[in-house]
Amino acid sequence: MPELISAAAPPCPATAVARAAALAPRLLAQAPHSDHEGGFPTAEFNWLREAGLLAAPLAVEQGGSGLNEPTNTYELLSILAHLGRGNLAVGRVYEGHVNALQLLSRFGQPAQVARWAADARAGHLFGVWNTEAHDGVRLEPLPEGRYRLHGSKTFGSGAGHLTRPLLTAALPDGGWQMLILPADTQTPQYDASFWRPLGMRASASFRVDLTGLEIGPEELLGRPGDYYRQPWFSGGAIRFAAVQLGGAEAVFDETRRFLRELHRTDDPYQRQRLGQLSILVASGQHWLRAAAQVAAHSPDADHLVAHANLVRSAIEDLCLRVLPLAERCVGARGLLRPEPFERLHRDLTHYLRQPAPDAALADAGRFALENPAPAYQLWHA
């Protein structure tokens, strides 16, 4: 487990955005040093601790900046995009941290929330491990309300570095229970050989064997089934979409830098491609603003989920269009290491493969078919 360093007091939301923006170039420069199998951006997360960004998603009364409040959604999405622009692996792990803090704040008992919020303020890194391995995680009841864990998770991002991962596990009656594991004292077995990816190597998304670990009732979070409650389960897709857009922005920035250094900015075909790239990136930025507006003002859970599915689908599509355009701009020379474009391309390609993209788009279509509102009203908050 990592040794925690002192964490700064969380800034106000606007200052948190400014600090994330200032960190992005530093993250980009540091990214090659952790981009290897088994790597993890340890130094980078120390910078986030020092900037107060690990506690920032907490509510103000919990000692945070309130980034998980609906009215601060745009600031949160902006931070995620800036971190993704700097290093998609950092953005991926930080998004999981944000998700875990939102879930514990929403479903935890007051004493639990106070304890876990203190952990976040102290610099502990949270995250969410939900994807089941073939031997999915289950809880064996023990005396005095305790449980023994059996089974494994895969895609456990931040494995070996998260000290407070949020897990889901099956109860004997079939219920699906959340818990937060104190992984610094109840340490799982990590299988790094699982993670041999095309990109996102530094996210350390290992297989995690939890067999034999024990927890008390104070580690259980919420009631069975709370993890899948809407709109929070599907509506959270706007967060990873923001990180993905940050990756597309980085591809745009590096493509433009590369062309400037080659003095190719007067080429009419390059200008046309940069115009197309600009449309795509600007479209993604508009989608994030719309996502924040809907999250802050729409009271309808079905509308929130459907709009979040639109956002993730649109940003996935534009990212997939950004990559081949940028490839044509930089040519074979731009795809050679140590050019950053090669890593950015791998990382974004891999991170775009989020689960159930077709189902997400189909659900947005279902909402449109069932809702009688005219098009000019349908997707507004």
pTM beyond 0.85, yes or no: yes
The predicted structure's pLDDT at residue 9: 75
**Tens place of pLDDT for every residue, the chain, 381 residues?**
666 665 667 789 999 999 999 999 999 999 999 999 889 999 999 999 999 999 999 999 999 999 999 999 999 999 999 999 999 999 999 999 999 999 999 999 999 999 999 999 999 999 999 999 899 999 999 999 999 999 999 999 999 999 999 999 999 998 999 999 999 999 999 999 999 999 999 999 999 999 999 999 999 999 999 999 999 999 999 999 999 999 999 999 999 999 999 999 999 999 999 999 999 999 999 999 999 999 999 889 999 999 999 999 999 999 999 999 999 999 998 899 889 999 999 999 999 999 999 999 999 999 999 999 999 999 987
Q: CATH topology for 232-378?
A: Butyryl-CoA Dehydrogenase, subunit A; domain 3 (1.20.140)
Residue ranges of domains in the chain: 13-125, 129-227, 232-378
How far, in Å, CA of 266 to CA of 278, rounded? 17
Q: Answer whether 129-227 and 232-378 agree in fold.
A: no
- Looking at residue 130, its pLDDT comes to 94
Is domain 129-227 annotated with CATH 3.30.565.10?
A: no
Q: Among 3.40.50.720, 1.10.540.10, 1.20.1050.140, 3.40.190.10, what is the CATH number of 13-125?
A: 1.10.540.10
Q: What is the pLDDT of residue 5?
A: 61
